[in-house]
Amino acid sequence: MSFINETHDINLKSWVASANQAGTDFPIQNLPFAVFRRKGSNEEFRGGVAIGDQVLDLAVVASAGIFSGEAQVALEAANAQALNEFMGLGQAYWSALRLALSRALREGSEHQAVLANALVAQADVEYSMPCHIGDYTDFYTSIYHATAVGKLFRPDNPLLPNYKWVPIGYHGRSSSIDVSGQAFHRPKGQTKAPDADTPSFGPCKRLDYELELGIYLGNGNELGEQIAIEDAESHVFGFCLFNDWSARDLQAWEYQPLGPFLAKNFASTVSPWIVTTEALAPYRTQWHREENDPQPMEYLESSHNREAGAFDIQMDVLLETAKMREEQQTPAKLSESSFKHSYWTVAQMVTHHTVNGCNFLPGDMLGSGTQSGPEHEEAGSLLELSRGGKETITLTNGEERKFLEDGDKVIMRGWCEADGFNRIGFGSVEGTVLPAK
């Protein structure tokens, strides 16, 4: 499990000046990983670490030969077109590299002269998927989201009987997950209007976003072996922002009896940077279950999960319409929420996923499910904000929305703050809706 250590010290400063600026997502206390290359180049994609407004090129660091032991082994694995091998090494190697990078990037480091040549401005790079996602499972962990959506269809009984007993999830499709900047055509499919006798085929009319976190698995487990809740977090490499686009009208017609299908697999977008579980240690918080709710079964219960199993990761959603871009207007903020409201923790998701013997591989990803807070303005989807399309949302420039229109760009951001520690962030995940083909 990840605990607070010297890399989290609020007093640490970096010789990279932009990392010391107030409000940066990437101070020296963060050090997230991505896969990048210079824009417009034919360079191979390779591993990088964010520091201020720069990317530390791990290919240059690896060739410098300044690290040793587990840190150097991890560095060589992270200097790749995908981070799967690095993620599979396990927590000791992740932590060793993080510590070595932190020390090398601090003010007064003996390695400053060498590593100054390893910096590339983030404004000058493009990103690839940080790893190959072999399998992806989307959970449904926000009870506020589940209740709000359930009320639209079952006003008297919004939550299904199993919700408070078992972490609900479905196996998604990883092939259509892409990195921030993804642009996709409005999906087509079957829908059925409430007053129609038969379904019709055509472009989705109720396109939506879902504000989620992506949770990347590191070292996995053998088929047939389960991961105990006490060990679950040692298998979690890190987190990203995740927009799980949804075609609500397709979903309403197809989801019974087997759940999401074409409504979910046309596009999903992740932020390029993976913030490690270790970096998030200062922003853990207590997880609790209401007294009148069913308490977790024994395999989903631990003292650590109660004491520090939740993460206070703040997230918000902004919408930039085509008109806003044309007129150079600021995107409109739609909502803000936190992962601390999740009904199930990351450890519980990992443990439940493997309790039947299901195996994880390095780079597999879990979606948290839409993260909505207790208040209506904290909703993580337009389905909730528009109350199922019954209410119009007026944007800051006077435009109106119930669901997404062609040309809309959705921007999601994430960050963490805690007394006595530096603010860290996730950057953003952006995606744009194109007209149907």
Residue written as token pair 């303005």: 377
Q: Respond yes or no: is residue 111 known to be catalytic.
A: no
Catalytic residue among 8, 111, 145, 352: 145
Task: Provide the annotated binding site for Ca(2+).
Answer: 138, 210, 212, 244
Asked if 348 and 366 count as a contact pair (C-beta separation under 8 A), the reply is: no
Give the single-character DSSP code of 45: P
C-alpha–C-alpha distance, residues 201 and 189, integer Å: 5
Cα–Cα dist 202/189, whole Å: 6
Beta bridge partners of 119: 56
Task: Identify the CA nearest to 244 among candidates 381, 405, 345.
Answer: 381
Selection from 250, 401, 243 nearest residue 320 by Cα: 401
Residue numbering of the annotated binding site for Mg(2+): 244, 264, 268
Residue 156 structure tokens: 């008297």
The secondary structure of 383-405 as a DSSP string is: HHHTTTTTSPEEPTTS-EESS--
DSSP 8-state secondary structure symbol assigned to residue 101? H
Give the relative orientation of helices 91-105 and 69-78 as an angle to the nearest 10 degrees.
90
166 CB-side CA count, 13 A:
9
Sign of CA dihedral 4, 10, 15, 20: positive
Known binding residues for substrate are 140, 154, 251, 255, 370
Q: Which two tokens stand for residue 62?
A: 């690896």
Active site residues: 145
